[in-house]
């Protein structure tokens, strides 16, 4: 003989062992069918229970969405009357659309998510579902395993309830890009439609950051919070590949809901604003300006390991006597290592007398400082220079001094600069 089950629909969150406020046998007796086409229709706010459920069989129910925007709160509880025998039952619930596509799924039980009530164990599942199409049928597919592999009979009761909660997420979601690369978001968090449990404000807000299949969320706070600034170097943005990747950003409004069957069981739900924003992708070789220099970005990364090539000065009529090529630079709120000096970058700048090469420079391209006729002192901070282009320092002062970081690099750089700097240059530490 097949085992029969009494199953009650309840929560995505596993709950503590507390007595049920509504007994599984209370409510309207119902019978679900084995196919979606035969699904039994449920009315809102009505408690139903199913007494004769075959172990591991499929049972379908359906409900129709209304004209209003909101959250459909589905509560389930499975009551297993196991007596002295402890079982490891499991209930699985799927919400499907008319084509059989799974919209949401939850599993409870399996030896973990039980409440004990005398000789019975109760599995709770609560599923808030939002974003459903209006005036359409959606289907509940439920199956229960009582946890007993023998053929002996174990009573199981399933209980279910569908509740509609009017809810509109925070509106007027807007974004402003700031000069430092950050984005400031604002919204109107006035409560618009939620009447569930007399709540008068949202329980919280969060930003969803998404790229491809990867998602990060940033909890913002509750109450009267109406603004949030997302920095360009935010670790969650960087983890998603910003600024090389285009990151989608949405605002979520969070609320807590309680099971319609057991008021002590709560689950959080987030409803997102339909408005979306995207970060701006920084392409390779993008041009940029910072602190008096022009650059092109050669390696787009936001974690400080991205690289740029310095291409010249932003104002060629304002040339400092002492030119310092920086170690790193911040562009759009993101730090980059300055690793190269472009060809002809400072060619012909007669005002430059002193030059300091930053510690991350690995390459100086052709004629970068050619014809800087007054350049007399060249100081290398870098330990990584390995390429110097033709005529890089041609026609600087004949008695120029080249300062090297240590003795080993004095030998290496002298060899590297041979025939690329005016003859007669002196090498020093």
Residues of the chain with CATH 2.60.120.380: 4-165
Residue 116 is predicted with a pLDDT of 78
Q: What's 4-165's CATH class?
A: mainly beta
Residue 110 is predicted with a pLDDT of 76
Strand spans (E) along 8-154: 28-29, 40-41, 48-54, 59-64, 70-81, 90-96, 102-109, 114-117, 120-129, 137-145
- The whole-angstrom separation of Cα 422 and Cα 371 is 10
Which CATH architecture group holds 171-278? Sandwich (2.60)
Contact at 8 Å (CB) between 132 and 72? yes
Residue 83 is predicted with a pLDDT of 61
- The whole-angstrom separation of Cα 249 and Cα 218 is 10
**C-alpha 299 chain-centroid distance:** 23
Q: How far is CA 69 from CA 104, 166, 169, in A?
A: 18, 6, 10
Residues of the chain with CATH 2.60.40.10: 171-278
The phi, psi pair for 4, rounded to 5°, reads -115, 150
pLDDT in tens, the chain (429 residues): 345 444 333 333 333 333 333 444 579 999 999 999 999 999 999 999 998 788 889 999 999 999 988 899 999 999 887 665 666 789 999 999 999 999 999 999 876 678 877 778 889 999 999 999 999 999 999 999 888 777 667 788 899 999 998 888 888 999 999 999 999 999 988 755 555 554 456 778 999 999 999 999 999 987 678 999 999 999 999 999 999 999 999 999 988 888 999 888 888 889 899 999 999 999 999 999 999 999 999 999 999 999 999 999 999 888 999 999 999 999 999 999 999 999 999 999 999 999 999 999 999 999 999 999 999 999 999 999 999 999 999 999 999 999 999 999 999 999 999 999 999 999 999
Residue 363 is predicted with a pLDDT of 98
Residues of the chain with CATH 3.80.10.10: 287-428
Residue 165 is predicted with a pLDDT of 87
Name the CATH topology of 287-428: 3.80.10
**Which helix (H) or strand (E) segment is 413 a member of?**
helix 407-416
- The whole-angstrom separation of Cα 388 and Cα 355 is 16
């Amino acid at each position: 003989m097949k085992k029969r089950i009494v199953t009650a629909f309840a929560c995505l969150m596993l709950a503590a062992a507390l007595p049920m406020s509504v007994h599984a046998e209370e409510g309207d007796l119902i019978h679900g069918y084995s196919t979606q086409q035969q699904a039994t229709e449920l009315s809102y706010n009505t408690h139903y229970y199913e007494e004769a459920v075959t172990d591991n069989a499929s049972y379908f129910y359906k409900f129709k969405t209304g004209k209003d925007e909101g959250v459909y709160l589905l509560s389930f509880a499975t009551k297993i009357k196991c007596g002295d025998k402890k079982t490891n039952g499991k209930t699985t619930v799927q919400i499907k659309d008319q084509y059989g596509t799974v919209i949401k799924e939850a599993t409870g039980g399996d030896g973990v998510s039980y409440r004990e009530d005398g000789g019975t164990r109760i599995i709770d599942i609560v599923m808030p579902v939002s974003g459903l199409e209006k005036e359409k049928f959606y289907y509940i597919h439920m199956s229960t395993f009582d946890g007993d592999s023998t053929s002996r009979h174990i009573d199981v009761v399933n209980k279910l309830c569908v509740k509609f909660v009017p809810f509109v997420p925070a509106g007027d979601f807007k974004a402003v890009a700031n000069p430092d690369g950050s984005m400031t978001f604002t919204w109107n968090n006035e409560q618009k439609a939620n009447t569930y449990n007399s709540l008068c404000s949202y329980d919280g807000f969060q930003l969803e950051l998404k790229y491809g299949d990867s998602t990060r969320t940033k909890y913002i706070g509750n109450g009267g919070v109406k603004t949030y600034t997302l920095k360009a170097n935010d670790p969650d943005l960087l983890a998603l590949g910003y600024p090389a990747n285009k990151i989608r950003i949405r605002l979520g409004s969070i609320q807590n809901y309680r099971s319609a069957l057991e008021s002590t069981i709560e689950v959080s739900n987030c409803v997102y604003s339909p408005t979306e924003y995207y970060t701006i992708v920084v392409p390779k070789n993008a041009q940029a300006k910072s602190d008096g220099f022009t650059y092109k970005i050669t390696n787009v990364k936001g974690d400080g390991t991205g690289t740029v090539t310095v291409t010249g000065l932003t104002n060629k009529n304002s040339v400092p006597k002492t030119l310092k090529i920086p170690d790193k630079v911040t562009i759009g709120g993101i730090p980059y290592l300055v690793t190269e000096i472009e060809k002809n970058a400072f060619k012909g700048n007669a005002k430059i007398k002193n030059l300091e090469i930053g510690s991350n420079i690995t390459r100086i391209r052709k004629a970068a400082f050619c014809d800087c006729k007054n350049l007399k002192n060249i100081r290398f901070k870098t330990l990584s220079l390995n390429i110097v282009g033709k005529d890089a320092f041609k026609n600087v002062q004949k008695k120029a001094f080249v300062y090297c970081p240590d003795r080993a690099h004095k030998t290496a750089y002298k060899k590297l600069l041979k025939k690329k700097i005016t003859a007669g240059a002196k090498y020093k530490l």
